[in-house]
Structures are given as C-alpha cells and as structure tokens.
C-alpha cells in the first residue's frame, strides 16, 4: 500500500497543538531557546512539559505529556537522549501524531546511540508517530507559522522548501534567503533521519502545491536506491537543488563525526544526481542563486546568450564565464548590427557582448535588449545594468541646479505643471486610456532625455510603447509613477523637501528599468539576467533579482539550461 | 642606461599643477564629469582648456595650453582623438611633464587609430612626456589626492596599487574595496598603454614603499617577455595579484574589440604567471579577498590547517574547500584532544574540524584556538565565528530582564558598581598596572560567564591573560572597554538609554573577539582566518577581515601558502 506522504506528514507541518518536552526557564539549556522560538511564532496551544518547573516563559507547564488536558498533535523533544524513549511511550499513550527530536546522542555517537535510536523508532512506529531527527535543530512550517527551532530564526513565508542534514548550514541558508527577500514554505533540519528520510521530505515537497523549488543539503543517505527512486519522480515537475559535500577525505571524516553518515563515493553521487535530473551546486550562495533563477526566470530553450554591458571589461569577464560553463556567446546577425548602428555611436563594439563604449544615452541602452530578445537565435540575455549611473546622475543634478538658478520662474513652473499633468494619466488604473498614456509617457521620457543631454529622441516612441505595456501588465508599479510627482514637487520648492532631486531621478530610472526587465521577460519568455557592479548583497527587485557579477549570472543560466535539457529528454518540456 | 621608474613617473602621480584639455560645462561630454572629479579631489592649481568656454565649473578657462600662466606638470585629455596630436605639440612647447589621454579612437579601433596613436607617442617622446592611455578612464593618486577620472570615484587612501586594462572593472574593484574598508595608493586605468606599459606601472608600484600589494587586470600584453623580466623582479618583495581573462574564444573576441589587445594562449600565460610568482585569480571578489589576506595575515609556513566551527555542517564544507584546494586538514595530536576534552562537553567532535556540537560556553570557544595555534603541526587556523550568537543573546537578555525585576535594588546596584570600578583599571593606558588589570578582566569575564549561564570558570584565568595581552599591545580598543561602562549605566537606569543591553553585550563580545583574533595573529605569527555565516558584505574589523564562508577563507589560505612556497624557492622567505 502506497503512503500518501502529503497526508502522512500533515500533523507534523500543521499541528493543531504542540507539547514541548524539555521546555525550561534555564538559559543554559536548548529547551530555553526552543520554547522561545515556539512562543514567538506559533499561535496554537503550546504545552511545556517539565518535571521541575510549573511555569515556563509565561505558560503553565505539565509534569508529563499524559497530564496535558487537550489533544496533542506534535511533540518537541529537547530532553537528554536516554530519556526520549520513555517519553515517546507517553506520547503513544497520549495519542500524539508527530514529533521532532532535537536531542542529540543517538546514531551519530556510535552503536550505543544507534540502539537508543532504534528503540525510540520502534515505539514511535507502534504509535504511528512520524518524527524529524534525532540530533537536529528543528524545523519551520510557514503554513502554521511554526518554528520549533533551537535558535531564533529569521525566516519568511515563500515558495522554497529545504531539507538539510546540517542544521547550521540550513539556518544560514534560510537567513541569507530572508535577507535576499526569499521565503520558505518549509525548512527541516533532518538530523539522523531515523524515521522520515531525506527522500520522504523531497517527495512531500514535490506534492505540495505551495512549493516551487526544492533544496537539499545532504551529507549521506540511509538508502541511496530508494532516494533515487523517489527523487526522479519529483524532478520532472520541480527543480531539486542539492548541495552534497564529501569529495575529500577530511570532509568525509567530518561528516562521519557530524551526522554519523557515510559520505559515499563522490563520483557515484554525481552520476546519480545527473541521472535523476537533480541540480548539484558547490556552495550555499550558488544554491540560493539558482533557486531564485528558477523562481523568477523562464527556462532558456538553448545555450545561446546575448550580453549587453556598460563597459568592455565587464563584457570580457561575462563572456568568459558563459563560455567556460558551456554557454555560447551568440554571433549577432548582420541586420541586428546594422540596427544597433542606428542607436549607438560608431565606436560601439559591433558584436556580442554589445558594448556602447561609454555612450550615456540610456534610452538607446533600454532599447537595445528588444533588438536582441526578438532574435530567434538568442535564448537568453545578460543585461549588465547601468554601472556608475548613480554617481553620474548626482553630478548632473549639481550642474543642472546651477543652470536652473538662471532659469525664469515661469519656465520652472511650466515644467513642474507638465510633470504634474502627466502623473494622473499614467496612474489611472480604473479607466486607463492607453493611447493618452502612450503620449504622456513619451512626453515624460523626452523631458528626461533632454535633461540628460540626449539629443536623438527617435527611440523614445519605441521605449514609451514598452513602458505602457509594463504599466498595463502591472510591472510598472505605482511608486515609480509617484517619483515623477515627487520630482515635480521638489522642483517647485527648489528641491528642498525629503529626498534630493538626484535621489528621486535615480529612484525613477532604477524603477523604470526594473519594470522594463520584468516586461521583457514576460513578453519574450526568455531569461533576462541582470547584474550590478557592487559587492553589496542584493535583493529581489520587482519580479527578478540582480546578481553581483557576470560570473554568477552565467552560472544561473547554465543550470536553467541544463534543467531545460533534462525536461526535454524526459518529454516534460511542457512546463515552460 | 636604466630608467629610475619612481622618478620617471613622479610628475604623473604627484603633479604640482594640472591642465585639463577638453574640460567643459556640457553635461553630455566626458570632459564635464572628468573636470568635476578633478575639482572634487585635487587641491593644486587646475587649468581648464577649451576654445569655446571662458569659465568652466567655476574655474577660468584657457583657449590653449600655451596660454596658461603658470607651469603645468600634468595634462588631462578628453578631446576627440584626431585633435590630441596637435595639442600634445602645445604641451611639449609648454614644457608639460606628464599626461593622461582619456580620449578613445586610437589603436583599439584599427590601423588608422594606431597611426594617430604612434604620432601622439612620438611627439610625447620628443618632449619627454610620459602618459597614461589613450582610451582609458583615467587614474587616482592618493599621495596628491588626485582623481583624473571619467566618473566620480569612491576611493580611499591605502596600501594597494592597481593597474587595470579595463576601466570599468577597475572602478568596480576600487569601489568594492572602498566599501570593504580597503584603500588604494594608486589606481590606473591604462587603456591602450601606448607609452607606459602595464609592467612599468608594476615596477613603479614595486619600488614605492607606500604600496604593499599590487593588483593588475590584464587583457593582453604588448611585450610579454619584457613583462616577465620586470614582474619577476617585483614578486620576491611584493605579492602581484593578476586577473587575466581570455580563456575562451568569446572572451578573446571581446578583448580584441574592447582594448584592441590579443588575448594570447591561456596556457602560456598561466605557466608564465606561475614562473614569475604572480598570483592568478578568477574574479574580482577573489582579487580583493586575496589582497586583504596579504595585508592582514602572516604567511603560513605550510599547508596544515586547523578549523574551529560552531556547527558540524559548516566544518564539513570548510574541510572540503581546504582539501580540494590542496591544504591539509591536520590530524590533531592525542594530547590536544585530551586538552579539549577538558573544556568541551563529551559530545564535541574530538577531531579537526573542532566542533563543540552546540556547546554555548563562549569562554571555551575563545580558549580552544590557543590549544591549536600553539601546535607545531598547525600552520594556520580557520576560526568560524559564533554563528547565531547575536540572535541568541537577545533571547537571553529578555529572560534576564524578567529575572532582574525580581532582584533587590541593592543587588543590581552592587553589580553596577563592580562594573564601573573595573572600567578605569582596564582603560588606564598612562600608568597601567597589568597585575591589577588581570584581576579586573578576570572579574569582568566571570560576571559575563555567570550571566551567560556558564558554570565552569576554570578557563577564565587563561582568557583573562590573553585579553590583558591584547590590551597591552593596543589590540583591545577603548570602545570595547567603554561598552562595559555603557552596560553598567544601562543596568542602573533599567536599560532605557540609547542601545539596548543586548546590543551592548553583543557589541562587547564581538569587540573582544576581534581583539583576541588580532592578538592570536600577533602572538603566534600564523594566519587566523575568520568567517561569518551571513551574505552581508563584510568589512575590515580590527586588524583583520571576516570572510563570508569557509570556501573563501580556504581560497585565501591557499594563495598565501603558494606565495610562501614561491618565496622559499627563491630564497626570500625572510619577508615573513
């Protein structure tokens, strides 16, 4: 009889009540921080269980699980290993449905611990209690806002699900994800995985419609064959991204000591992952980079990439990263070069990577992607952003302010009124008039272009069309439109209120570009990977994500391409 | 006759006056932002030269270089390529000593541009004018606070010197360095390098005592043999870190279009760099990571590394990264394991990586490095920080506040007075009494340990010794001591003023750890590489730098080890 894994693990991820065995006010025990994490997150009834304490962090405590008045769906264990079996018996008697055993001192410490673990397992099996652990850090379930975790965890709800055989690495990924703006539907530190296996979690995540991408950190498997059987059923519908160390002797030794697992032959793992269609990554940064790629980009149909760069050397490094990984930097058709000749100065690179060689016409730079994305031979685009634009526009603003001091007040007032008149037309979402909007956007872009010293305005119409399209599809957000109003008001007051005018203009252009990228992705259904040139940690912007280098962008494209190839091979390319 | 390169490039890096040919108020030209960068940074006389404008950004402008009243040491060119030769003639006539030609349209565009370039070169040679460029973005010289650069540049003074054949990549590295807290003595975007060659800059940096580490981004060389001859004289005294793309066809093509250089055979470059003792890196992040490693760490004498980790899985990934690169995760002597048995709970890993397996005794965690660093067989240490300590101590503080509400006011006052009495003893740098200080530090650490729920205080004496040592050598800074006073005052007032008590305690422990790491490095003269577990961009802390992963830490150690091996081979290992 096949188990319905979604139903089977239901009480674990969505318990109606929680007992915490080993909850305590003693700050030197993990039971202290674990009950705190429960109280901070979970809104259902929490029953601390402790023989010695009556009141724990404001909650009434019980001496035994069987003393608890109401039903208990989940039991959290933070008591010493040797006492877990006895309390698990109580749990069976009480009718507890699921458990997480944070306590350590089981299989990972040797044969004696393994014996204890087997005993606990057999009691739990008898009572139909499915459990996480032992020797784990706990878990997070967004659907019940439940963090039964050893430490406070910075986590938000989202489409990722993650099972980790290392609680610390897992927590680091969850927190890094939080800081990037990414959320987790589930995060499980699986520990020794005595009962629920890593592949069980992956199967469960595969069937849960809330989960879009599955992550796993694996040190060793209890049953490799079963793992392969299960995971290969998941990969055709959802990407499974795996970090598996153990390539070296020192790592294998550290794994044995840490999780008690056998690292196994790295070559065998590598071949198995490939066969299953799982995506193997080298570190946690890559894990999150690829995850966000799957969440925000369509799959590329092939390996031909176009690159647009604000600087030649960026393009060189990006082209190298693409080709080293097996992508092809596409050769541009002659007609495309001629088209780009019309919008860029003669010194532009006239090949892929497309480099306007210091041209500062941002309208041309925003139009060029259209010329590339529309090509049949281009599968994806790496768009390397504006580079030093922010610094430059600050300079421009200083200069402009000096010039404006000489402008007549009527001229300033006229421009302010024009901007104010444009805003409600673009803002209107109730009864939008797209023809009128097109003309308003065009007028706005022309003002901006002239301000930036751009004389050739022939491309403004094309750009205005895309901007209106982005507004129509909700990609161009209200805050970008509001920047125009703020700029008008700041100009009227002489730039004294709140943000400086340079800040508002930067914010507007960044917002506009964000909307355009989202619109390109939606229109052409091809990946558009954007990069920045700082080392600052970057976040989700609009519907996509900026990577900090061409190298990281190339790595993401490579994995997306490989997954597309896998889907085609298994006849499942309809996903895209 | 050998040229004294330090003297030869003196007027370029330390000009007494600057003429800017092509300075303008026209915001659509690079002359606009370049003169702005000069004005923002340089304090000597600046003479804008422009036929059409009389006043440029507040400065009097001249029609010709020869119209300038005073002498001119440096000429900055941002005029079109075809006019550079004529004005270079004027410069020769005026007695200008050096130049930077930002203007593009020379060798990089083909034979005609090459002809123009040769013409300019021959005129400059005749007048003994050494020049940077053409087709570059400009340069930065800290000794004269001079940024003759196309864009505003975020840069600070410091011990790095950098020559880059890509102005954009160069600027990105300089700005990323700025954000990390790293400074540059020189940064040159060398462009086509018609006159001064990449190797000339490296030779110059090698002879400048202000420069500690040399960086180079190279697309192709004009004379590979000369380059090797020059660089191999520099590497025995200063590390030379090189980023050289061009491994793939697309990169080679992009290079040809960008800088006009021939990428050359990657294998030949690789072999040549190795022979010269230059350090080749794969990307800009690695470039800065390694640079900061050289700036802040002693060289390891061998490849045996010890690892201390707050979590097993971190240790696994770090051990793997070390061994993959060729480092050896050292096997701990039996006696060391026995010594660590005394300070850690029985569940600790009992091997390298040293993992206390969730023990939260931070005193033991701060003592363990001593036991490892004192070993002859340990060449370096990776110290993986505290992990979730910050989150945890916030929790502790909440709990502690509840308990304190029940404490008698006399007890609180007593503790506050004790802390206040300790501070001046540690603070005293004028007539320090180290015996008294040892006892004060010990008392302070005991209070902290008790507060954290640590019962075994036997290690406090050892830790106090190191802390006093750190104070004696200036590693323990005043701000850390002041945290204690702030904590005492916050406790007296019930924690209401400024930072919360949890923030102050975190700040104190982080500051203490920083001082300890610096002290360990100074005492044992071995690298101690620290890591964090976030993706946040990290900065110089104290005298060292936190990396964001064991992988990055391992990469740094690897390069330091390779450089040490090179020095030993060339008989120059006395540097360390």
pLDDT (0 to 100) of residue A388: 62
Contact B316 A27 (CB under 8 A): no
In a domain, A146, yes or no: no
Residue A573: pLDDT band with limits 50, 70, 90: low
Same domain for A308 and A285, yes or no, is no
Q: Contact B167/A310 with Cβ under 8 angstroms?
A: no
Contact A453 B357 (CB under 8 A): no
Q: Which residues of B touch A324 (CB under 8 A)?
A: 247-248
Half-sphere exposure of A79 toward its Cβ, with a 13 Å CA cutoff?
A: 20
pLDDT (0 to 100) of residue B389: 62
* Interval B22-44 mean pLDDT: 93
The Cβ of residue B473 has, within 10 Å, a number of other Cβ atoms equal to 13
pLDDT tens-digit readout, A483-530: 999 988 888 866 556 888 888 888 898 899 999 999 999 999 999 999
Contact B170 A320 (CB under 8 A): no
Q: Distance, in angstroms, between B134 CA and closest chain A CA?
A: 14
The edge-to-edge listing of strands for the beta sheet with A46-49 is A46-49, A18-21, A74-77, A98-101, A130-132
Same domain for A507 and A441, yes or no, is yes
Contact A329 B258 (CB under 8 A): no
Q: Distance, in angstroms, between A21 CA and closest chain B CA?
A: 19
Q: Which residues of A touch B246 (CB under 8 A)?
A: 316, 320
Residues contacting residue B416 through CB under 8 Å, at least 6 positions apart: B488, B489, B491, B492
Residue A201 is encoded by which pair of tokens?
Answer: 């979690």
In a domain, A140, yes or no: no
CA–CA separation, B95 and B52 (whole Å) = 24
CA–CA separation, B452 and B152 (whole Å) = 49
Which has the closest alpha carbon to B536: B549, B527, B553, B518? B549
Same domain for B494 and B548, yes or no, is no
Q: Which residues of A touch B36 (CB under 8 A)?
A: 395, 398
Q: Tokens 């039964």 sit at which residue?
A: A148
Domain at A335, CATH number: 3.40.50.261
Which has the closest alpha carbon to A74: A40, A112, A100? A100
CB nearest B320 (choices: A152, A245, A358): A245
Same domain for B181 and B245, yes or no, is yes
In a domain, A511, yes or no: yes
Q: Which residues of B touch A388 (CB under 8 A)?
A: 151-152, 171
Residues contacting residue B571 through CB under 8 Å, at least 6 positions apart: none
- Can you give the length of chain B in residues? 576
In a domain, A309, yes or no: yes
Contact B179 A349 (CB under 8 A): no
pLDDT tens-digit readout, B281-336: 999 999 999 999 999 999 999 999 999 998 899 999 999 999 998 999 999 999 99
User: How many domains does chain B contain in total?
Assistant: 4
CB nearest B314 (choices: A168, A247, A387): A168
Same domain for A355 and A413, yes or no, is no
Contact A36 B395 (CB under 8 A): yes
pLDDT tens-digit readout, B181-206: 999 999 999 999 999 999 999 999 99
DSSP A128-153: T-EEE-SS--EEEEGGGTEEEESS--
Cα-Cα-Cα-Cα dihedral sign, residues A67, A72, A78, A83: positive
Strand partners, B187: B140, B162
Contact A310 B283 (CB under 8 A): no
Which has the closest alpha carbon to A341: A356, A363, A361? A356
The Cβ of residue A290 has, within 10 Å, a number of other Cβ atoms equal to 23
Residue B387: pLDDT band with limits 50, 70, 90: low
Contact B180 A217 (CB under 8 A): no
Residue B432 scores a pLDDT above 60: yes
pLDDT (0 to 100) of residue A497: 63
> Which of A24, A166, A172, A356 to mutate to probe the B interface, most B CBs <10 Å?
A172
Q: Between these two residues, A77 and A26, which has the higher pLDDT value?
A: A77
Q: Which residues of A touch B452 (CB under 8 A)?
A: 27-28
Q: Which residues of A touch B551 (CB under 8 A)?
A: 282-283
pLDDT (0 to 100) of residue B149: 96
Q: Which residues of A touch B320 (CB under 8 A)?
A: 245-248, 250-251
* Among A192-206, A366-380, B376-390, the least confident range: B376-390
pLDDT above 90 covers a percentage of chain A that reads 73
In a domain, B573, yes or no: no
pLDDT (0 to 100) of residue A24: 95
Q: Distance, in angstroms, between A516 CA and closest chain B CA?
A: 24
pLDDT tens-digit readout, A345-388: 998 999 999 999 888 788 899 999 999 999 999 999 999 987 66
Torsion of CA B318, B320, B325, B328, to 10 degrees: 90
B167: closest chain A residue by CA: A313
In a domain, B565, yes or no: no
Among candidate residues A255, A274, A296, the one where a domain is terminated: A296
Residue B495 scores a pLDDT above 70: no
pLDDT (0 to 100) of residue A1: 55
For A407, the 3-state DSSP assignment is coil
Residue B187 is encoded by which pair of tokens?
Answer: 């940064």
Residue A576 scores a pLDDT above 50: no
CB nearest A104 (choices: B104, B323, B347): B347
pLDDT (0 to 100) of residue B411: 82
> Which of B388, B531, B557 to mutate to probe the A interface, most A CBs <10 Å?
B388
Contact A248 B167 (CB under 8 A): no
Residue B576 scores a pLDDT above 50: no
Contact A250 B168 (CB under 8 A): no
Which has the closest alpha carbon to A396: B28, B221, B570, B532? B28
Same domain for A492 and A544, yes or no, is no
For B62, the 3-state DSSP assignment is strand
Residue B544 scores a pLDDT above 50: yes
* Among A80-84, A424-428, B379-383, the least confident range: A424-428
* Interval B99-116 mean pLDDT: 94
Q: Between these two residues, B396 and B540, which has the higher pLDDT value?
A: B540
Q: Which residues of B touch A165 (CB under 8 A)?
A: 313
Q: Contact B37/B151 with Cβ under 8 angstroms?
A: yes
pLDDT mean across residues, chain B:
91
pLDDT above 70 covers a percentage of chain A that reads 95
Q: Contact B359/B345 with Cβ under 8 angstroms?
A: yes
Same domain for A362 and A429, yes or no, is no
Q: Which residues of A touch B251 (CB under 8 A)?
A: 316-317, 319-320, 323
Residue A256: pLDDT band with limits 50, 70, 90: confident
Residue B490 is encoded by which pair of tokens?
Answer: 């916050």
Same domain for A104 and A8, yes or no, is yes
In a domain, A33, yes or no: yes
pLDDT (0 to 100) of residue A494: 60
Among candidate residues B245, B265, B296, the one where a domain is terminated: B296
A105: closest chain B residue by CA: B347
Contact B358 A30 (CB under 8 A): yes
Residue B491: pLDDT band with limits 50, 70, 90: confident
A152: closest chain B residue by CA: B391
Instruction: Find the DSSP H helices in A409-500.
Output: 409-427, 434-451, 460-472, 478-492
Same domain for A68 and A179, yes or no, is no
Residue A515: its H or E element: helix A501-524
Q: How far is CA A338 from CA A371, B254, B257, in A?
A: 11, 19, 17
Q: Domain containing A563: what range?
A: 299-388+526-575
Contact B151 A388 (CB under 8 A): yes
Contact B180 A251 (CB under 8 A): no
For A261, the 3-state DSSP assignment is coil
pLDDT tens-digit readout, B519-529: 999 999 999 99
Q: How far is CA B66 from CA A456, B50, B90, B91, in A?
A: 36, 12, 6, 7
> Which of A316, A354, A550 to mutate to probe the B interface, most B CBs <10 Å?
A316
Same domain for A530 and A384, yes or no, is yes
Q: Between these two residues, A325 and A400, which has the higher pLDDT value?
A: A325
Q: Are strands A540-541 and A544-547 parallel, antiparallel or unpaired?
A: antiparallel
Same domain for A435 and A355, yes or no, is no
* Among A44-58, A185-199, A244-258, B471-485, the least confident range: A244-258
Q: Between these two residues, B218 and B254, which has the higher pLDDT value?
A: B218
Same domain for B118 and B39, yes or no, is yes
For A552, the 3-state DSSP assignment is helix
pLDDT above 70 covers a percentage of chain B that reads 95
Domain at A92, CATH number: 3.40.50.720
Among candidate residues B137, B172, B192, the one where a domain is terminated: B137
Which has the closest alpha carbon to B340: B459, B454, B222, B254? B459
* Interval B406-412 mean pLDDT: 78
DSSP A181-231: T--EEEEEE-TT-SSS-HHHHHHHHHH-TT--EEEEE-S--S-HHHHHHHH
Contact A258 B316 (CB under 8 A): yes
pLDDT (0 to 100) of residue B408: 78
Q: Between these two residues, A317 and A411, which has the higher pLDDT value?
A: A317
Q: Are strands A138-141 and A160-164 parallel, antiparallel or unpaired?
A: unpaired
In a domain, A381, yes or no: yes
């Amino acid at each position: 009889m096949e188990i319905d894994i979604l139903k089977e693990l239901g009480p674990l991820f969505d318990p109606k009540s929680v007992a915490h065995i080993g909850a305590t006010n003693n700050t030197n025990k993990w039971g202290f921080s674990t009950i705190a994490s429960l109280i901070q997150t979970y809104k259902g009834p929490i029953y601390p269980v402790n023989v010695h304490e009556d009141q724990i962090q404001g909650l009434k405590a019980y001496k035994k699980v069987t003393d608890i008045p109401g039903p208990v769906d989940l039991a959290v264990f933070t008591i010493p290993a040797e006492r877990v079996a006895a309390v698990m018996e109580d749990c069976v008697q009480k009718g507890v449905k699921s458990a997480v055993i944070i306590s350590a001192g089981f299989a990972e410490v040797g044969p004696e611990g393994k014996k204890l673990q087997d005993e606990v397992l057999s009691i739990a099996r008898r009572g139909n209690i499915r459990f996480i652990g032992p020797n784990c850090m706990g878990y997070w379930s967004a659907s019940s806002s439940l963090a039964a975790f050893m430490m406070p965890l910075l986590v938000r709800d989202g489409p990722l699900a993650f099972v980790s055989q290392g609680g610390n690495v897992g927590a680091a990924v969850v927190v890094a994800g939080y800081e990037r703006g990414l959320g987790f539907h589930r995060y499980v530190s699986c520990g020794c995985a005595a009962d629920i296996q890593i592949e069980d979690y992956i199967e469960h995540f595969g069937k849960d419609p809330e989960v879009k991408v599955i992550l796993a950190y694996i040190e060793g498997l209890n049953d490799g064959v079963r793992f392969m059987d299960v995971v290969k059923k998941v990969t055709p519908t959802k990407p499974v991204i795996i970090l598996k160390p153990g390539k070296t002797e020192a790592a294998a030794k550290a794994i044995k000591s840490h999780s008690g697992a056998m690292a196994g032959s790295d070559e065998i793992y590598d071949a198995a992952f490939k066969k299953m269609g799982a995506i193997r990554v080298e570190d946690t940064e890559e894990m999150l980079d690829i995850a966000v790629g799957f969440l925000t980009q369509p799959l590329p149909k092939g390996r031909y990439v176009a690159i647009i760069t604000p600087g030649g050397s960026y393009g060189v490094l990006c082209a190298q990263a693409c080709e080293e990984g097996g992508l092809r930097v596409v050769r541009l058709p002659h007609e495309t070069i001629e088209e780009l000749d019309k919008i860029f100065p003669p010194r532009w690179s006239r090949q892929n990577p497309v480099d306007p060689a210091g041209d500062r016409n941002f309208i041309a730079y925003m139009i060029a992607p259209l010329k590339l994305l529309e090509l049949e031979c281009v599968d994806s685009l790496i768009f390397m952003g504006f580079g030093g634009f922010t610094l430059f526009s600050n300079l421009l603003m200083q200069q402009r302010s000096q010039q404006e001091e000489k402008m007549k007040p009527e001229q300033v007032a006229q421009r302010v009124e024009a901007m104010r008149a444009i805003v409600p037309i673009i803002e209107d979402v109730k009864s939008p008039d797209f023809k009128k909007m097109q003309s308003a956007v065009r007028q706005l872009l022309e003002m901006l272009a002239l301000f930036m010293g751009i004389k050739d305005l022939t491309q403004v119409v094309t750009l205005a069309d895309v901007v209106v399209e982005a507004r129509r599809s909700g990609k161009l957000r209200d805050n970008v439109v509001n920047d125009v109003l703020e700029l008008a008001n700041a100009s009227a007051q002489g730039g004294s209120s709140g943000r400086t005018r340079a800040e508002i203009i930067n914010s507007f252009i960044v917002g506009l570009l964000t909307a355009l990228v989202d619109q390109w992705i939606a229109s052409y259904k091809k990946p558009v990977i954007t990069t920045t040139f700082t080392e600052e940690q970057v976040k989700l912007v609009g519907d996509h994500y900026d990577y900090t280098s061409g190298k990281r962008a190339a790595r993401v494209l490579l994995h997306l391409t490989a997954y597309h190839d896998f889907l085609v091979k298994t006849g499942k390319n309809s996903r895209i």
